[in-house]
Amino acid sequence: MQIPHSKRTLANGLDVIVHEDHRLPMVAVNIWYHVGSKNERPGRTGFAHLFEHLMFEGSEHHDHGYFPPLQRAGGQLNGSTNADRTNYWEVVPSGALDLALWMESDRMGYLLPALSEKKFSNQRDVVLNERRQNYENRPYGLAGMALSAAMFPPDHPYHWLTIGSADDLRAASLDQVREFFQTYYHPANASLSLAGDVDSEQAFDLAERYFGGLPAGPAVERVRAEAKLAANATLVLEDRVELPRLYISWHSPAMFASDDAELDVVADVLTHGKTSRLYKSLVYERRVATDVSAYQHSREMGGLFQIASTASAGVSLTELHTAILTAVAELGAHGPTASELERGLAQTEAQFIYRLQTVGGFGGKGDQLNAYNTFADDPGYFDRDRQRYFDVTSKAAAAAVNKWLVHAPSVSLSVVPKGRRDLALPGAEEVHVS
């Protein structure tokens, strides 16, 4: 199984990947810049994402909003930033492909002349509101920040979340925008995919035409950092919530590294669906929790394996903590059953097929080609990615559980209602985030 494609690299280093799918009269343009919040420094957090906002405010030859011409052409568009990368996409009617490429190439090549203090301060206000809406004003919204801060030392780029600190955002300056653009936004640090109703040769010609003349830009040094917990930590965060919730977090393998797929499978066995071990035990049978979730959050420099569960009214987080660690230990001792693996594979197989349904947008085929190209250095990694899950054995899953979870330190975070620190795990140390 594959996303059929061809790839060429332009002389300036821009990777171009083309996938033909003519079912809809639409083309998906997707571009990844290999830069994210992990390229930031302490005191300047939140910058990569703030920068993404500025990419929609116009460039030298079209110094107006980025949305109107594309929207008028019937296009849809968006962008997003995470720790490792920033992506931008448009899905446009086939006849508007030139327009989309003109616009993408203009902001890759000519963003700075159109920048102004006014745009910058406006988008900073927008981002501060995004932060309030999605983190500060949302129940449990600050838990992720507290956990990242506890899992990684202050100088490690995964110490902060992509949204950044409000103080750093307020202190950001236009000069930093210029420097950031010059360092990271150029062809040699990007990957462009065109997926959908387009002829491959024509697509490569257009890519060359619009992007080929842009200078390659400086080589970007890969960020490298290691993180390790010295010992278990137990933390408590007060929040405006009704029910206490427990988070447990471990360091885990990087994306596509050995044990990454095993821990994905383990997360599913623990909490995916009613038949998963922890849902069945905590929510379905004992009814001590209202929800439980686990996931292997893998990134370029390393992953986090996290389990979260909200206590039913009157149930102590200690009880959840014990139950979760017991279930993890049990998986370490015996691994998933053959039946669990078989059920998981049926779902994995379907999920990979579902991923072939859309050409564009977040998670569409164009986005996947760029993800594989950027993180696995091979846009054709789809089938190998899938194969990783078919290769998981019970023994290997158990070994991964023992190595990364059972025999490794973790951070436990209790999020409790304001003034109810007594509901946290015993001995929890108070943390403050804002």
Partner 1 sequence: MTIDRSRLPVPGADRPFHFPRIVRRTLANGLELRAVRHRSVPVVSIVLVVPGGSAVDPAEAHGLVSITAGLLDEGSRGQSALEFADRVARIGGDLDLEAGMDAVVVGLTTLDRFFETGLALVHEIVTAPNLANDDFNRIRNLRLERLKQMKDHAGALAERAYARVLYGSHPYGHLSLGSEAALTSVTLDHVRAMHAAMFAPAGSTLIVVGDRPEEQLLDVAAKMFEPWRAALSAAPIDRDAALLPPPARPAVKLGVVSRPGAAQSELRIGHVCAARSTPDYPALLILNSVLGGDFVSRLNTNLREGKGYTYGVRTGFNLRRGIGPFVMQTSVGTEVTGSAVQESHAEILAIADARPATPEEVAIAFASLSKGYPRGFETAGQVARSVAQLALHNLPDSYFEDFVPRLARITADDVSAAARQYLVPDRMTTLIVGDLDKIDGSLPGLGLGPHQLLTADL
Footprint of partner 1 on residues 388-417 (CB under 8 A)? Answer: none
Planar angle of CA 177, 54, 362, nearest 5 degrees: 120
Binding mask 232-271 for partner 1 (x = CB under 8 A): --------xxxx----------------------------
Q: How far apart are CA 227 and CA 158, in angstroms?
A: 9
> Least distance (Å) from partner 1 to the CB of residue 433?
13
- For residue 330 the two structure tokens come to 């049990």
45 to 64, contacts with partner 1 by CB under 8 A?
A: 60-62
Handedness of CA 98, 104, 108, 112 (dihedral sign): positive
104 to 143, contacts with partner 1 by CB under 8 A?
A: 105-106, 110, 121-130, 132-134, 136-139
Nearer to partner 1, 138 or 395 (CB): 138
- For residue 274 the two structure tokens come to 């009613």
Contact criterion met (CB below 8 Å) for 372 and 365: no
Q: What residues contact 207, with CB distance under 8 A and at least 6 apart? A: 10, 14, 16, 101, 192, 194
Nearer to partner 1, 102 or 256 (CB): 102
192 to 231, contacts with partner 1 by CB under 8 A?
A: 197, 208-210, 212-213
> Least distance (Å) from partner 1 to the CB of residue 27?
11
**DSSP-derived secondary structure letter, 217:** -
- For residue 365 the two structure tokens come to 């085929």
| R_g over Cα of the chain | 23
- For residue 245 the two structure tokens come to 């919730």
Helix (H, G, I), strand (E, B) or coil at 359: coil
Binding mask 62-101 for partner 1 (x = CB under 8 A): x--x-xxx-xxxxxx--------------xxxxxx-xx--
Nearer to partner 1, 34 or 186 (CB): 186
Tallying the residues shown for the chain, one arrives at: 434
23 to 42, contacts with partner 1 by CB under 8 A?
A: 23-26
> Least distance (Å) from partner 1 to the CB of residue 258?
26
- For residue 398 the two structure tokens come to 């158990």
Question: Which of 284, 333, 337, 387 contacts partner 1 by CB under 8 A?
Answer: 284
Nearer to partner 1, 121 or 173 (CB): 121
Residue whose pair of structure tokens reads 């962008």 in the numeric block: 79
- For residue 278 the two structure tokens come to 């922890």
290 to 329, contacts with partner 1 by CB under 8 A?
A: 290, 310, 312-313
Strand 190-196 versus strand 15-20 pairing type:
parallel
Nearer to partner 1, 197 or 259 (CB): 197
> Least distance (Å) from partner 1 to the CB of residue 283?
8
Binding mask 158-197 for partner 1 (x = CB under 8 A): ---------------------------------------x
Nearer to partner 1, 199 or 429 (CB): 199
> Least distance (Å) from partner 1 to the CB of residue 64?
10
Nearer to partner 1, 220 or 356 (CB): 356
> Least distance (Å) from partner 1 to the CB of residue 419?
13
Q: How far apart are CA 303 and CA 142, in angstroms?
A: 19
Cβ atoms within 10 Å of 314's Cβ, excluding its own: 7
Helix (H, G, I), strand (E, B) or coil at 361: coil
Q: How far apart are CA 175 and CA 161, in angstroms?
A: 22
> Least distance (Å) from partner 1 to the CB of residue 208?
7
Helix (H, G, I), strand (E, B) or coil at 253: coil
332 to 371, contacts with partner 1 by CB under 8 A?
A: 342-343, 346-347, 349-351, 353-354, 356-359
Nearer to partner 1, 179 or 342 (CB): 342
Nearer to partner 1, 30 or 39 (CB): 30
Q: In what order do the strands lie in the sheet with 245-252?
A: 289-299, 302-311, 245-252, 411-417, 233-239, 429-430
> Least distance (Å) from partner 1 to the CB of residue 384?
19
User: Residues binding partner 1: what is the number (CB under 8 A)?
Assistant: 81
Q: Which residues pair with 309 in a beta bridge?
A: 246, 292
9 binds partner 1 (CB under 8 A): no
